[in-house]
Amino acid sequence: WAGRYKEAVISFTRAAEAGVQSGEAWFYTGYCDAKVGLYPEALEAYREALEIDPNDAKVFHYQGEAYSHLGRHLEAIEACKKALSLAPDIAGAYSVLGLSYAKLGRSVEAIEAFKQAIRIEPDDAETYYDLGVTYGELGRHLEAMEAFKQAIRANPDYAEAHYNLGVAAGELGRHEDAIDAFRQAIRINPNMMEAYYRLRVAYSALGLYAEAVETCKQAIRIMPDDPLAHYDLGTAYEQVGRYLEAAEAYQQAIRLKPDYVEAYRNMGSAYAELGRHEEAIEAFKQALRLDPDDPGPHADLGLSYNELGRYDQAIAACKQALRIVPDYAQAHVGLGMAYEGLGRYEEAIEAYQQAIRVKPDYASAYLNLGMAYEGLGRYQEAIDVYKQAIQIQPDDAMAHFGLGISYNELGRYEEAVDAFKQTVRIESDYTDAYLNLGIAYGELERYQEAIDAFKQTVDLDPGKAGAHYGLGLSYLSLGDKSLALEEYKILKNLDKNLANELFDRIYK
């Protein structure tokens, strides 16, 4: 088609050069120029046409279209308005007017122009599509959905309309509708990679993680050399806790795109989740070599240094993140953890408080602040912040556990029991929660319940010396010296000091 348009341009140009003073000839010269992307030449031809006939509405319409393609939107608007003043029912002029208004951020005027175009041509899929995009930019997603549906009614195989219908549905939290729309887009255009990405997000939002992983694999089968597809697969694996496979997917993304900063960072996070902090550190450093001013990898680096007990390096990394972005909450938490690791609890408290100031709903900051207060023996303050952490994140097992520890330290054993019960309800294999639950029951002289809790501890960790010691004391409190002696025999191989202490209790 491009070749035939060029032939037409040559024919019309020759006619004009031969002295044929025809506005139509100049119009079609411009029209053909525009069809092959020669918009400046098209504008020159339209100017010649208007010199001959200054009242030709269609020339103004296509002049506006050419201006729009060149990003000269104010001139496009002026030309389309002239066209419509001469011929009020040119739907295409309203459509170009709408697009130019939209490009200038004049969305309300754009919507009105698109509606006028639809009034004239009610089956124009493109105009419905443009209307939907404009509604979406205004956050009017329900109206956007309706416009995209109309575009699809006019053109059922309009892949972009299906895709944007899914985007609008997702913005409204209608993830099932989004999934249907993205699947339709992929059916029509299997190479639409952004549809696979959005489909994965929609599946993940519904907790359908297996489907999310399969969607990413499907995208890779279609486009095996697309780094984003591998990156997205890594994200999907991370969501289901398959961190090794996530790291491998990010490595593939990096192989295809060696400067993929986000892939290095996420690979580091996956290694950190696996406890492979040396590899995590190397990945974060690679991300920083590519973008040294990104605060994220600096903060992530600090967290991995903390896990390795390299607190001075953690402090340096977190401070670097904070030099770049002073209100980076994660970096404040990482800094607090490093101070806490060094026993500098007051500085840790200050860092966690800074994190909370920046991000008041940061549950992890409250959790760590509680632990710092514990380190200073300020148990009531610890209780207060653990409760705030739980209010933000009710199923945070560590916050309930910390609450129980602080209650135990204050002798508030009934409340400690409740806190530890909540802990094991959330995380049924939380060994230390069962151990401390047993201790709280023992303090309340509820020895059988203490025995049950200590047995749960031993079932999870047979080598937990404190649980065997607690069992021995509980049996002794119930008058069963023989069972207490059995625990003493076990303790001799686990902790001689506790074994001797239990022996003294048995025979005092």
Lowest model confidence (mean pLDDT) among 11-15, 299-303, 416-420, 492-496: 11-15
The band of 25, judged by pLDDT with boundaries at 50, 70 and 90, is: confident
Q: Please tell me the least confidently modeled range out of 20-34, 74-88, 169-183, 394-408.
A: 20-34
Which CATH class, in words, describes the domain spanning 293-392? mainly alpha
Kindly state the average pLDDT of the residues 276-281: 97
Q: How far is it, in rounded angstroms, from Cα 140 to Cα 119?
A: 21
Mean pLDDT of all residues in the chain?
93
Distance CA 257, CA 418 (A): 52
Residue 28, token pair as written in the block: 């079609």
Q: Same topology for domains 210-290 and 293-392, yes or no?
A: yes
Share of the chain above pLDDT 70, in %: 96
Four-residue CA torsion sign, 6, 9, 14, 17: negative
Provide the whole-model pTM.
Answer: 0.75
Residue range 261-266: average pLDDT?
97
* Contact yes or no for 154/125 (Cβ under 8 A): yes
The domains of the chain are located at: 210-290, 293-392
H/E element, 465: helix 465-477
- The pLDDT of residue 16 is above 90: no
158 SS3 class: coil
411: left (phi over 0), alpha (psi -120 to 50) or beta: left
Given the candidates 3.40.630.10, 1.10.3720.10, 1.25.40.10, 1.10.645.10, the CATH classification of the domain at 210-290 is 1.25.40.10
What pLDDT shows up at residue 70? 95
Confidence of residue 508 (pLDDT cuts 50, 70, 90): confident
Tell me what the mean pLDDT of segment 38-49 comes to.
92
With 70 as the cut, is the pLDDT of residue 312 above it? Answer: yes
What pLDDT, on the 0 to 100 scale, is given for residue 12? 52
DSSP state of 174: -
